[in-house]
């Protein structure tokens, strides 16, 4: 059974108990990492660490219990993502991936967070940036419509509409059969 962030865990983390802090990290890190990776951040693992360091430094001042903590964490993640985009826009750096130099023997943190299916970025390809953002906040981060609206600085109605349109596009894409001969298969849901 999957653990969820509870008021008891949060209270123990506020008291500085290492086990509770680790549990907050373990419960929040995968979804924050998936959000940052899905937004195309250059180093989502480093940004996730920055987000959680900020969250831990503010634990004693946060209100709203576990939901407030998640909203704050994804607000910080969103801000770090925007900073990352701005930094890359100012100083673009292009590097060619060289698979023969990749000596990893275990799955990357992104693979562990996202599972073995297609990555979040591949799934969201073709959606507008706002549609991608709303799906990442609502589905990956598991935030409410209201929390997502506050982070995106939009009305709840606008968030609902973006989510509805994005899900419809994804549904249509998955239902559509690929043309014969292109070598791709479409997953059925």
Q: What is the CATH number of domain 7-94+111-175?
A: 1.20.140
The whole model's pTM is what?
A: 0.57
CA distances from 51 to 38, 71, 106, 110, 179 (A): 16, 12, 25, 16, 43
Regions of the chain short of the pLDDT cut 70: 1-2, 92-94, 104-120, 177-189
Return d(Cα 186, Cα 189) in angstroms, integer. 10
Largest Cα–Cα separation, the chain: 60
What is residue 77's predicted lDDT score, i.e. its pLDDT?
Answer: 95
Which position has the token pair 């609502």?
138
* Inter-residue long-range contacts of 183-188, CB under 8 Å, 24+ positions, other chains counted: 187/117
Return d(Cα 164, Cα 157) in angstroms, integer. 10
pLDDT per residue as tens digits for the range 113-123: 555 556 667 77
* 155: number of Cβ within 10 Å: 11
Domain range list for the chain: 7-94+111-175
Tokens of 46: 């480093």
Closest CA to 16 of 60, 61, 69, 67: 60
What is residue 178's predicted lDDT score, i.e. its pLDDT?
Answer: 46
């Amino acid at each position: 059974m999957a653990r969820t962030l509870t008021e008891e865990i949060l209270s123990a983390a506020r008291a500085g108990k290492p086990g509770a802090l680790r549990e907050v990290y373990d419960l929040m890190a995968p979804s924050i990492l998936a959000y940052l990776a899905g937004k195309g951040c250059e180093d989502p693992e480093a940004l996730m660490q920055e987000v959680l360091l900020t969250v831990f430094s503010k634990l004693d001042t946060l209100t709203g219990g576990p939901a407030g903590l998640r909203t704050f964490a994804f607000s910080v993640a969103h801000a770090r993502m925007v900073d990352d985009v701005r930094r890359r826009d100012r100083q673009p750096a292009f590097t060619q991936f060289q698979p023969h130099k990749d000596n990893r023997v275990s799955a990357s943190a992104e693979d562990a967070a996202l599972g073995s299916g297609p990555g979040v970025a591949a799934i969201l390809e073709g959606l507008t940036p706002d549609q991608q953002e709303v799906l990442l906040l609502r589905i990956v981060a598991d935030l409410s419509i209201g929390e997502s609206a506050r982070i995106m600085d939009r009305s709840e109605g606008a968030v609902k509409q973006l989510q509805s349109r994005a899900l419809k596009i994804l549904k249509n894409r998955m239902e559509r059969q690929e043309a014969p001969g292109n070598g791709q298969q479409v997953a059925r849901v």
